[in-house]
Amino acid sequence: MTRLKRNAAAFGAAALMLAACGSAGQEDQGSLYGQLRQIAAPAVARATGQADQAAAPEAPLSAEEMAARALAANPAPLILVGLESSGSMQVMAMVGQNGNMRTYMTPNEQALIIRSGMLTGTKGLGHDLSVAEVEGTAALIRARRAGQATRTNRYIGGDGVERPLPMNCTVALGEGKNFSFAGSGWNATQVVETCQGGGMEVQNSYLVTASGQIPVSRQWIGPDLGYVTIQTIRP
């Protein structure tokens, strides 16, 4: 019996930890003004220069320094993520794994969904990639094989409807590279996936190891957010 109880309690504890990350539960009680102010805060801070003052004391860390700190603080698989459109660089920790799909989150609960190194979703960024169906191109990329394949990215439109953006992609190989990051050495080949669809052309690039791992990549999220760079800190 005690074993069963412990099980139930363990499930409970897992759910509880999640709750602790959520926002306060006062729904529809806060004023509209409060919500607007919260949203406007970053812009206001920029305009008044307060953001600079607040940020000034802490010198920006290099990627290696961020990786080293994260390795010491968090035992989970980690990635270093840079969103090019905002110029931000953040460490994300794996919070869940379902088969080969991993969910990485920032402390403020924005998430990237990655399947075997391929970006297949984002959450909490406002113009998220709902899902990328990449089985075709992923097979080529992870096998380091040139060829043609399709992918379909899906996005939620302003009306709340999920719509597909089908793309035709060409996978090409570049040169091999040896590099090290966050204490790991990698031997990888550059693979470039060029995709066209919806009147756009985008280019995802990956460094792929012989075993099909993707330690470093630059992948396109969508028309509004642009590209994200992903570096593996701890696989």
Partner 1 sequence: MHRRFRPLLLTSTALLTASVSALGVASPTQGQTLNSYGMPGAIDTPTAVAPPEGELSATVSYSDYATRTTISFQPVPRLTGALRYSKIDGLDPNRDTLSDRSFDVQFQLLNETQGWQPSVAIGLRDFMGTGVYSGEYLVATKTVTPRLRVSGGLGWGRLAGQWRRTDYNDEGGDFNVGDWFSGDVKPFASVEWQASDSLSVLAEYSYDDYDPEVDDPSKERPDGKFNLGVNYRIGDTYQIGAYTIGGNVFGIKGSVALNARKSAYPSGLEPAPAPVRPRPAPNADPDGWSGAWSADPTAQPAIQTALGDALSGEGQVLESMALSANRAEVRIRNNRYSQQAEAIGRTARLMTRALPPSVETFVITSMEKGVPTSSVVLRRSDIERLENTASAHIAQQAQIIDADPRVAGLVYSPGIYPKFTWNLRPYASLGLWDPDEPWRYEAGLQASATYEIRPGLILSGTVRQRAFGSLDQKGPGDLTPDEYEALGTDIDPDTGIPRVRSDSRMYTGNTSPTVPELTLAWYAKPTETTYTRVTAGLLERAFGGVSAEVLWKPVNSRLALGAEINRVRKRDFRDAFSFRDYEVTSGHLSAYYDFGNGIWGQVDVGKYLAGDKGATLALNREFENGWRVGAWATKTDMSAEDFGEGSFDKGVSISIPVTWAIGTPTKRRVGGQIRSIARDGGVRLRVKDRLYETVRESHTSNLYDGWGKFWR
Residue 30 is classified by DSSP as S
CA distances from 113 to 21, 66, 97, 120 (A): 18, 21, 10, 5
Interface with partner 1, residue 206, by CB under 8 A: no
Q: Using CA atoms, how far apart are residues 107 and 134, in angstroms rounded to an integer?
A: 28
- Give strand pairing partners of 201: 196
Q: Nearer to partner 1 by C-beta: 28 or 175?
A: 28
Minimum gap (Å) between residue 136 Cβ and partner 1: 15
State which residue, 92 or 171, has the beta carbon closest to partner 1: 92
Residue 198, interface with partner 1 (CB under 8 A)?
yes
Of residues 232, 166, 165, 170, the one with CA closest to residue 205: 170
3-state secondary structure of 65: helix
Interface characters, 19-38, with partner 1 (x: CB under 8 A): xxxxx-x-xxx-xx--xx-x
Classified as helix, coil or strand, 24 is coil
Query: Cβ(214)–Cβ(199) under 8 Å?
Result: no
Closer residue to partner 1, CB minimum distance, 23 or 178 = 23
114-143 residues in contact with partner 1 (CB under 8 A) are 120-121, 123-128, 130-131, 133
Contact with partner 1 (CB under 8 A): which of 68, 101, 172, 173?
101
Shortest CB 1 distance to partner 1, Å:
6
> Does position 87 bind partner 1 by CB under 8 A?
no
Is residue 164 a contact point for partner 1 (CB under 8 A)? yes
